[in-house]
Structure 1
Amino acid sequence: MSNLYTVEGQEQVAKRLCELTFADRVFFCNSGTEAVELAIKAARRYHHSRGDISRNQIITLEGGFHGRTLGALAATGRDEYLKGFEPRNPGFLQVPFGDFEELESAVSEQTAGILLEPVQGEGGVRTIPCSYIRRVRELCDRHNVLMLLDEVQTGIGRTGRLFGYEESGVVPDIVAVAKGLGGGFPVGAVLATESVGIAMQPGSHGSTFGGNPLAMSVAKVVLDIVSAPAFLERVRMASIRLRKQAELLVSMYSLAFDGVTGAGLLVGLRCIPPVREVVNMLYEQKLLCVPAGNNVLRLVPPLTVSDDEIDDAMRKIARVGKAICDMSVKRRKSLTDAAV
């Protein structure tokens, strides 16, 4: 079954997403990279439908990650992901992370949209300040540019709010979501305002499996659970516990860790030794973590994580931190002895 036909579940989930967010229209797909691809298409189509066909460039931030299809890779713009898949798709421009003046100067008559992640996961679990996001919204309004948010990782409760953009108080034009929306089942979606959504007329996009009945049944239950105020409050309390313990580890094991980044239950622990070595040591402790950019260890527990599970995980990270510090001290002593 495809979206050529009415799927009752799609209507129910789309209505719920619109009730919970800024959105007037929703299109369903199967993954985060598909959602980002559609977000890019929708931004270009919006301007094209108004006769401004020159507005086709998307500006993104260095360090971002938007997916592994060719359009999403071009939006990401990082050589390590593009190597071997050249030529890079045109129509994308990256500016330095956090440098608003560079972003402002990059906006031109060719700019269709600015695409941001509220927290850069792959880029080192770097949080974009709310003040920056608000300035981006003002910049977009001033130049008739669309604001696109990639909430594939931050959406559906990860930051302690249903969506990461809520913290800043802005109203985006397009938001790409996936991952958490299916609670483990493949599903993605693009949320858009009416003015953007109406530009995507029948035939301009499609998906055979996007929004299939099973995916919609899952997404409906996930939204009912995660959007509950008590659930989101629990996520916020868990994130406070996790962050405090991570900051304590930094103070205790300064030869292993030197900073904490992120938001909600998306936390980064910046490492002194190569992060992949830390990941492997934690694997031996039966704790699964993943690396991120800037030598950051990414901690992304399930939203249902308990206090006991947080405490257990941090004890294991503490053991690794102590082992790293002990090895560093021994190495320094050996070097000193050798010099003497």
Structure 2
Amino acid sequence: MIRVEGLRVRAGNFLLGEIDLEVKSGEIHVLLGPTGSGKSTLLEAVIGLRTPEAGRILLEGHDLTRVPVEKRGLGYLPQDLALFPHLSVRENILYGLKIRKRPCDGFVSELCRILDISHFLERRVTSLSGGERQRVALARALAPGFRHLLLDEPFSALHQGLRRELWDLLSELRHRYGLTVLLVTHDLKEAFFLGDTVSVIFEGRLEASGPPERLYRKPPSLRMARFFGLRNLFPGRITGEGRVEVPSLGTVLRVTSTPSFRSKIYVGIHPEDVLVVRDKYLRPDQENLLSARLVNLRSEGPQVRVVFKGEGGGLLEVILPDLARSKLDLSPGRRLRLSLPPERIFLLEGKE
């Protein structure tokens, strides 16, 4: 387990903190946030590249705050990989063992086999592709036998197909060797694919931590919902218990809860949760029905993103399987019925 308690770190004019964070043993914990939010600063403090102004860093209960980098027992993979260009693949992988005066054992050979790099151990790293360099860097970080791995956006320079391949590989390594991983990214797909726990950082402050599905489904703040790319956010007004008026959609919606907010509220729903309902399939108990006009449609491979305009002029995004394009006759200008399931609607306080 890695625990961060009340950590405050200054990097030039930027201040991170105070941060409290717990990375459970055996999990992949993702630090997510926009560029410049402080994710890498936090990771660098944990590995020992930055000295905190306050707070503690604990590894399995042992205080590492003033321990030198080389004695922390943490594997580290920076964004630029930091491979030595004048060394071969084998020499890069064994570098950590050499400086720690440890022998090369069967674990390193097994690691190279799993990472599929055994056949080019004698090549220079300058001759490798991007994906090959990533695998070599992973091998070097794990070769000393570390079971705690810190990764700083290691896959950001790779194309989507290769990134997905390396995500699978990292997951396999985590399960095979019982790794505890702290990973920095600004990529939502990467965070939600890999993370058992996701911690979101904005402007040097920890906004929220939790399972990725929970944070995505019910973002705790308007700022986080927008960072997740959600456009279906509409000003609303609570008109009674379980009722919210949404002028831009020209309707009053039933919701499952109406919390007390001091400022104005926003009503949110994810585009994949909005239902397009054909008249012949309307149920008597169908809730939160509204009529909207289709104004835009964009194909995204296996799915289609459709934009509807509500009675009050608000734009509502809907994601449907591509098959729905012909089934529903999705053509611009057509008016269709939409249903917003109450259990999928969430309310947010109207402040950033």
Q: Which has the higher contact order (CA 8 A, sep 6+)?
A: 1
Task: State whether TM-score is above 0.5.
Answer: no
**Bigger share in strand:** 2
Greater C-alpha Rg: 2
**Bigger share in helix:** 1
TM-score, normalized by length of structure 1?
A: 0.31
